[in-house]
Amino acid sequence: MTGALHLIGRTLPDDQPVQLWVVDGILHTEPVADATTICESGWILPGLVDAHCHVGIRFGGGHTDHDEMVADARVEREAGVLLLRDAGSPVDTRILDAYEDLPRIIRAGRHLARPKRYIRDLSIDLADPERLPDAVAEQARAGDGWVKLVGDWIDREVGDLAPLWSPEILKAAIDAAHAEGARVTAHVFGEQALVDLVGAGIDCIEHGTGLTDETIEMMVEHDTALVPTLINIETFPQIADGAGKFPRYADHMRDLHRRVADTIGRAHDAGIRIFAGTDAGGSIRHGRIADEIAALIGVGLSPLEALGAASWDAREWLGRPGLEPGQRADLVVYREDPRTPAGVPDHPDLTVVGRHVFRP
């Protein structure tokens, strides 16, 4: 749309009446003459956040090309997601930055793993684990303030999940990232790797299904964040069913799935900061942030906490603005109060991305 825009509604989390104006894609709180009112009521939230999303990985496997990346980003926008933390991508997604009507992306570079210890063709595989600190520094410089490690994966020699890195290498690697001004996160399913990762000072854990009382306490002490990707964990039984050669691994995955609600619920009760991420790309389709919000409510977060985990709190954690004047207008509007036990609707009633306005 051209010209100034005007919105009237209530904001969350404070639930206060607000009027906002958008001029040339920038948010204002002072009245602007001759603005077109595009919203007269409803709940206005900062654009949603998917803190674990892969626009560079094709659903079903493989790398996405330019057209697929654009299409996936549009699906996320339709769901109200206007900020993605691309938690590991095998391709360069910076071409999407040229599209001012698409979500902004915070990149974590490529996954760092060991040979045959992650999904084929997605990671940089280090034959020499001693190279991890240097590789982390390289990915820190290539990304947008994040680096992604593969913390554990099936070890076929032991027939179960096992860590990829020693505690000493992890400490050196995480220190190297911090020296570059980057934060580090890691894919972790099982219990064993969590002690070493959190102890080494990692900033975030992805999945975290193997959390125990000990590692929950460690994460609280270190203020380590958690992105549990609950809708991804729903695929664990399917993964186990396909692991016929490794019955120990299959049983472990089923057990992690069986107790995930209790695991993440205890992490929440302990005070660990939890953020919403779907793990879209690969085995999860894009545009499912509403399902992840509902899943977070299902493990014990209040509706307001779950919304914050996918909006204003996640934006603050990632260092991106919410509804501050002078910033790009990235916001979503819901006609009905989204603080329902079932979570938010699949699509907002109105989405504003800079100077662009979208309705379902």
CB neighbour burial string for 261-275, b if at least 16 within 10 angstroms, e if fewer: eebbebbbeeebbbb
Beta-carbon contacts of 284 under 8 Å, excluding residues fewer than 6 positions away, are: 59, 231, 232, 235, 278
Report how many domains make up the chain: 2
Distance CA 65, CA 140 (A): 23
Which tokens go with 313? 């709190």
pLDDT digits (tens, 9 = 90+) for 89-130: 999 999 999 999 999 999 999 999 999 999 999 999 999 999
* 142 and 35 assigned to the same domain: no
Confidence band, pLDDT 50/70/90 cuts, at residue 177: very high
CATH code of the domain covering residue 124: 3.20.20.140
Clarify whether residues 114 and 237 are in a common domain.
yes
Residues 6+ apart with CB under 8 A from 238: none
Q: Are residues 242 and 333 in the same domain?
A: no
Please indicate, yes or no, whether residues 234 and 351 belong to a single structural domain of this protein: no
- Cβ neighbours, 10 Å, residue 319: 10
Residues 214 and 274 in one domain: yes
What's the confidence (pLDDT) of residue 345?
87
Q: Do both 33 and 139 map to the same domain?
A: no
pLDDT of 79: 98
Tell me the residue range of the domain where 326 lies. Answer: 5-44+322-358
As given in the structure block, the two tokens for residue 17 are 């009446």
Q: What's the rounded mean pLDDT across residues 49-56?
A: 97
pLDDT at 267 over 70: yes
pLDDT for the residue numbered 1: 62
Q: Are residues 202 and 242 in the same domain?
A: yes
What are residue 23's DSSP bridge partners?
26
Beta carbons within 8 Å of 209's beta carbon, 6+ residues apart: 189, 190, 228, 233, 236, 256, 257, 260, 263
Q: pLDDT (tens digit, 9 = 90+) per residue, 295-328?
A: 999 999 999 999 999 999 999 999 999 999 999 9
**Average of pLDDT values for 16-45?**
97
Mean predicted lDDT score pLDDT of the chain: 96
Judge if 280 and 300 occupy the same domain.
Answer: yes
Q: What's the whole-number mean pLDDT along residues 156-169? A: 97
Tell me, yes or no, whether 11 and 107 share the same domain. Answer: no
pLDDT the model gives residue 3: 87
Q: Residue 133: phi, psi to the nearest 5?
A: -55, -40
How far is Cα 53 from Cα 105, in angstroms, rounded to an integer?
A: 9
Q: What is the DSSP string of 319-341?
A: T--SS-TTSB-EEEEESS-S-ST
The pLDDT, as a whole number, for residue 2 is 66
Instruction: Give per-residue pLDDT as tens, 220-247.
Output: 999 999 999 999 999 999 999 999 999 9
Asked if residue 341 has pLDDT above 80, the reply is no
Percent above pLDDT 90 for the chain: 96
Beta strands 48-53; 81-86: pairing state: parallel
Q: What is the pTM of this model?
A: 0.97
Over 80: is that where the pLDDT of 342 sits? no
| Whether residue 133 is found in the same domain as residue 191 | yes
Averaged pLDDT, 136-149:
97
Cα-only R_g, the chain: 20
Q: Exposed (0-12), middle (13-18) or buried (19+): which is 176, by Cβ within 10 Å?
A: buried
Residue 350 sits in a domain of what CATH number? 2.30.40.10
92 and 171 both lie in a single domain: yes
Q: Could you tell me what percent of the chain has a pLDDT over 70?
A: 99
Count CB atoms within 10 A of the CB of residue 128: 8
Within this chain, do residues 225 and 306 fall inside the same structural domain, yes or no? yes
Torsion of CA 14, 15, 17, 22, to 10 degrees: 70
